[in-house]
Amino acid sequence: MMRPARALLPLLLLPVLLTGCDADKNGGTAADSADLDAAARVWGVAPELVYVTRVSGYTVFQQSVGEYDDEFVAAYRSEKRATKFGLFVGRGTLTAESCPKQPLGEVSDRQVTCERDGDAWYRKAGGSHEYAVPDDGVVIHLIADADKVDRAILRRAAEAVHRPDDTELAALLPTTDGADT
């Protein structure tokens, strides 16, 4: 398994579980369901589609966070180099049969190759590659230009995918400093 097992939650958190939030796969506590619901409404996505990841040297680009084609999307950019990868979360499943039939991002006219890697799929098409992680009726896609972001970085991102905690959720939201934009 690519991610550690989920921690058991006390019965007091049962309402959170029923609204689609649970302990993240890295052992922290998921964001408060009311906060997650409010943020998801701002972005125009369902709360169950909001995921984040952690990769050393990469941070989320706040202006990229939102909805695209009924999916949650966020871009992560390198702190030192001009590289980035995208995180896309949509409803669906991914199996050995369906994997090569599903387009890889915007690359819809190229043959998609699929390789099972733990709980995820490593996929390539054209000059793009990704890790696709199925989780509870959603698929999390971590996609990048193969010439700019290597497979090891995408794999680390896939291993670290989880539901956001309160701090991570706050980092996704635009900052407000009281000034007009």
Query: What does the CA dihedral 113, 118, 120, 121 come to, rounded to 10 degrees?
Result: 0
Beta strands 84-91 and 71-78: pairing type? antiparallel
Binning pLDDT at 50, 70 and 90, where does residue 34 land?
confident
Side by side, the strands of the sheet bearing 120-125 are 58-68, 71-78, 84-91, 138-145, 128-135, 120-125, 113-117
Strands (E), 83-164: 84-91, 113-117, 120-125, 128-135, 138-145
pLDDT at 55 over 70: yes
Q: What is the pLDDT of residues 86-103, one digit of tens each?
A: 999 999 999 999 999 999
DSSP state of 181: -
The whole-model pTM stands at 0.78
**CA dihedral sign of residues 114, 117, 120, 122:** negative
Beta strands 120-125 and 84-91: pairing type? unpaired
More confident residue, 1 or 65: 65
Alpha helices in the chain (DSSP H): 14-18, 33-43, 151-159, 166-172
Beta strands 128-135 and 113-117: pairing type? unpaired
**CA dihedral sign of residues 100, 102, 108, 109:** positive
